[in-house]
Structure 1
């Protein structure tokens, strides 16, 4: 399982990646939404062990060593990082990617047998830029899984090639639910599809917001009511009332 707590990467001015937490288990597809391409790429690089975070905890199967995470993961189609060059043919791309697989797994560096076994002969002669979004994703994920050590797929913005989620979502769901090879699949996208009801997270979901200052209500002095004015005589009225009392009159006679 991929576990991420308060993952954050510093930038020159603002955070390149604001604090983000998430979990991705084998056998499930997790979608993480983020508006900015820089943030999406930074998260994808960090999740796959290609970029060291400034803060937070990242672990794969309870192991937080970056090398372990990197060996277990594959970063797929990250713009400006490892997206295939547009001038490459599919045949050349396959040859190039197979050469990166550890020697004990890759066998002969021949693209033709691999293309045939994986049913990509129909696009072998095309340029990468000619590929439809669906076939592009199928090809790149198949190449990533050519390494049997890969248990975690991290895809950077697969939705940038098509506004239609059907161009990428079914393929990723099928990979995650493959019982023969249970994978944890994380796709960092610009927005969640409208009909998505599966696991999801948002970049920056662990940013701490300062508490709002408490407002102190100042009680205003209410004006005296007519009743209060009537029942609270002034000092002059009090003297007049006292002068009318018998005791007060007796004192006046004595004084005279």
Structure 2
């Protein structure tokens, strides 16, 4: 479980992240809404262990150590942080991301081998900018999970690639459906889809997790 209590990040003139509390159950998907991109990115960075909050507590499993969280979490597609360069070909992105995985966990073979094993060989020569949002997110998710130590996925604004939830929600939902790998996911979005009935929270809310019900 990922548990956050009154996380707060101070900015130069105002709060980057107002006090926020939430919980994401192991093996589940939590959607969190944030009003603006800077808030969403700050929250995603904190939840993935890439930024220390000014105050508040964050626990992954039974540990509050940022290093432990960072080792088991992957930040996915964060704009101006680690979103892939549009001029990259898929095979080059795959080669770069696989090289960043600790050697003991790195899949054997090269980028072409990995793409073949994943059934994605047709994507290799394509440019990142050519990929449909759902294909892009699926690729980035698979790359993150190529590291067997990754158990928590934090998506930063996946809905920025398309207003239609079908452009991103199936890929995000599918990330926690792997039968051989227990994965927890948090997607920080501009707006919770109106027909979403799963767990949801909001940046700036300290009441914790809320279960949405159909309208």
TM-score by length of 2: 0.93
Contact 1:99-1:109 at 8 Å conserved across structures: no
Extract unaligned runs of 5+ from structure 2: 208-215
Deviation (angstroms), 1:108: 4.2
Residue 44 to residue 8, structure 1, CA distance change in 2 (3 Å): same
Match of residue 154 from structure 1: 154
2:107–2:146 contact (8 Å) kept in structure 1: no
| Structure with greater proportional helix content | 1
Q: Which runs of 4+ in 1 moved over 2 A?
A: 177-180
Superposed displacement of residue 177, structure 1:
3.1
Q: Which residue is 2:130 aligned to?
A: 130
The structure that is strand-richer by fraction is 2
**Conserved 8 A contact 1:9-1:54:** yes
Alignment check: 8 A CA contact 1:90 1:126 kept? yes
Contact kept in structure 2, 1:29 and 1:187, CA below 8 Å: yes
TM-score w.r.t. structure 1 length? 0.79
Q: Which moved more, 1:180-189 or 1:143-152?
A: 180-189
Larger radius of gyration: 1
> 1:90 maps to what in 2?
90
| 2:134–2:170 CA contact under 8 A, matched in 1 | no
1:176 is paired with a residue whose SS is: coil
How far off its partner does 1:178 sit?
A: 2.8
Are 2:22 and 2:206, in contact at CA under 8 Å, matched by a contact in 1?
A: no
Question: RMSD of the alignment, in Å?
Answer: 1.2
Q: How many residues align?
A: 207
Question: Does the residue aligned with 1:39 lie in a helix, a strand or coil?
Answer: helix
Specify which structure has the bigger relative contact order, considering alpha-carbon pairs within 8 angstroms and separated by 6 or more residues: 2
Partner residue in 1 for 2:104: 104
- Residues 53-108 of structure 1 show CA distances to partners (whole Å, capped at 9, x for unaligned) of 00100010120000000001000000000000111100000000000001012144
Offset of 1:206 from its aligned partner? 2.3
Q: Which residue of 2 aligns with 1:245?
A: none
Partner of 1:221: none
